[in-house]
Structure 1
Amino acid sequence: MPLSLAQMRRDYCRDGLPDAGAPDDPLALFGQWLQQARDTEQPPVEANSMCLATVDEHGQPHCRVLLLKGVSEAGLTFFGNYQSAKGEELAANPRAAMTFFWPALERQVRIEGPVARLAPRLSDVYFDSRSLASRLGAWASPQSQPLADRLQLESLLASAASRFDGQPLPRPEHWGGYCLRPQRLEFWQGRSDRLHDRLDYRLRDGAWQRARLAP
């Protein structure tokens, strides 16, 4: 007989997160963990997949999974349609939260901060690196808008392919990148008996302050 949802649990005992080994810069630790996830996680799991949470103008939170596309001192970058529900929410309330979960490593990272659009030239560079089909999809899909059926979407894609047949395919103005500038990062390492390690970094007056949180 399968376990009930209430019975489903596992004991985490792979690793720990001691204060002594934690760097002062949380982005350095995030980079280490992300690389370890890339080296450890197996397909179809994508180490750069994350849950992105936004809030609309009415205070209603929304969450979805998408892919992280860059990490630098400036912040964490991702891309999408500026006219989508996500884009409208970020325009109304330009703050967001990200959560990364790497089951094989028994780790989670939460990141919060303000979000701004990338410079157009940076969005152009990433857009040009995508496959032709993905670039056509950015032109074809009225993201988050109702469709009559799948055939309507396929018709829009065919129209986009015909429009740009034999021509350069530029980035649509309604599509581009965002950068989240971290103000808080929390690193979670699973431990036995639910006594997990949690290290919380917060940016205050231009400096990172670290605290250990109770699980």
Structure 2
Amino acid sequence: MFLHSGLTASTNKPALHRNFRAECKLVARTTKRCSVAVLTLEPKVSRFVCLKQHHKNYAHIASIGDSTSCVYLNQRQKSNTDHICVRSEERKMETSGLSFITNVPENPMQIFANWHNEANEHSDPNLFLDTMTIAGLSDTDDLLNRNVILRKHDDNGLIFVTERNTMKFKDFVKNPSVAAVFLWIYMINGTAVTRQVRVLGKVAELSELEIAEFYKEEPLFARIRSKICRCGEPVDWNDLKAKHDLTLKDYQDGKDTLPQRDTYTAMRIIPQKFDFYHARRHEIADRVKYTLEDGKWINYHIAT
């Protein structure tokens, strides 16, 4: 169809959108054989339409197939023209293209690192967070997802920290299957870039030595949270505030160093599949899929 205005019509009872008269301008030029009507339906977009016949204040517009639409004509704009020629003007601002993921390495963690670094470089440093959404099955086999902070990535996978008293830790101990996703949108040379990374794999807890290294990097609020909060349990905010303020004062006075508690832990996502999605504005996205087969990564492009 070459007319899109929110206006519908039938050959028996043409319908008219209430605001169409205010939104549409029609200028007709009549010759011996035909007239050309130009309708401006939206900013910077014009349409040359074909008027086959008119009925009272309406005129039917010829279209592809058996469908018809109609447009309002006032008394001065109506004509007795038998036929009005049809042409359509291309949208000047529209474009299209195909994005392509180049330099696909054998190890998917290498392309992950490259994309992660680029997103970090071109994003606002005050807003960029290494957030990933992870999903797994609960103890009642319900699918649950949540956002966590990516603390580290290397050739062996993706690491996040949590507490052993959280639902997600208990769920992953029971069923280690996990799905994770990253979404990065940023500008490069005035062009919007969208990149998404999806990961399927298993979750495993790190060694105590590795966990201890991550705890040393925790900011003060996170260490206080580890001491006073039991994730998911009911709490009175005023009581929690009192515990927080007392713990903070004891730390500032040197009475409490906030050592690592046995609930603090870190977990690694060991990938088995990757799906990398890349698209620039006004382009069809490209995707590269990785699958781990017999200890070796196999990759190939797939359609969006």
Partner of residue 290, structure 2: 201
Q: CA 1:15–1:178 in structure 2 vs 1: closer, same or farther (change >3 Å)?
A: farther
Say if 1:12 and 1:192, in contact at 8 Å, map to a contact too. no
Partner of residue 66, structure 1: 148
Partner of residue 5, structure 1: none
Farther-moved stretch of structure 1 (75-84 vs 168-177)? 168-177
Q: 1:27-176 counterparts in 2 under 5 A?
A: 27-104=109-186, 105-148=193-236, 150-158=237-245, 160-161=247-248, 165-176=254-265
| Residue 162 (structure 1) shift | 6.6
| Secondary structure of residue in 2 paired with 1:181 | strand
| Secondary structure of residue in 2 paired with 1:37 | helix
Aligned amino acid, residue 99 of structure 2: G
Distance across 2 between alignment mates of 1:17 and 1:118: 36
Gaps of 5+ in 1: 1-10
| Residue 47 (structure 1) shift | 4.4
Give the paired residue count. Answer: 203
Partner of residue 4, structure 1: none
Distance across 2 between alignment mates of 1:212 and 1:147: 49
Farther-moved stretch of structure 1 (127-136 vs 204-213)? 127-136
| Secondary structure of residue in 1 paired with 2:271 | coil
TM-score normalized with structure 2 length? 0.61
Distance across 2 between alignment mates of 1:201 and 1:85: 30
Identity rate, percent: 22
Encode CA deviations 1:5-54: one digit per residue, 9 max, x unaligned.
Answer: xxxxxx99898333x52111111000000000110111453241111112
Higher share of residues assigned strand: 2
Say if 1:202 and 1:209, in contact at 8 Å, map to a contact too. yes
Aligned amino acid, residue 116 of structure 1: A
Distance across 2 between alignment mates of 1:28 and 1:156: 44
Say if 1:111 and 1:185, in contact at 8 Å, map to a contact too. yes
| Residue 167 (structure 1) shift | 3.8
| Residue 213 (structure 1) shift | 2.0
TM-score normalized with structure 1 length? 0.84
Distance across 2 between alignment mates of 1:48 and 1:179: 15
Question: Greater relative contact order (Cα 8 A, min sep 6): structure 1 or 2?
Answer: 1
Higher share of residues assigned helix: 1
| Secondary structure of residue in 2 paired with 1:178 | strand
Farther-moved stretch of structure 1 (26-35 vs 48-57)? 48-57
Of the candidates 4, 9, 16, which is equivalent to residue 99 of structure 2?
16
Q: CA 1:118–1:61 in structure 2 vs 1: closer, same or farther (change >3 Å)?
A: same
Aligned amino acid, residue 127 of structure 2: V
| Residue 156 (structure 1) shift | 3.3
Farther-moved stretch of structure 1 (179-188 vs 193-202)? 193-202
Gaps of 5+ in 2: 1-93, 187-192
| Secondary structure of residue in 2 paired with 1:103 | strand
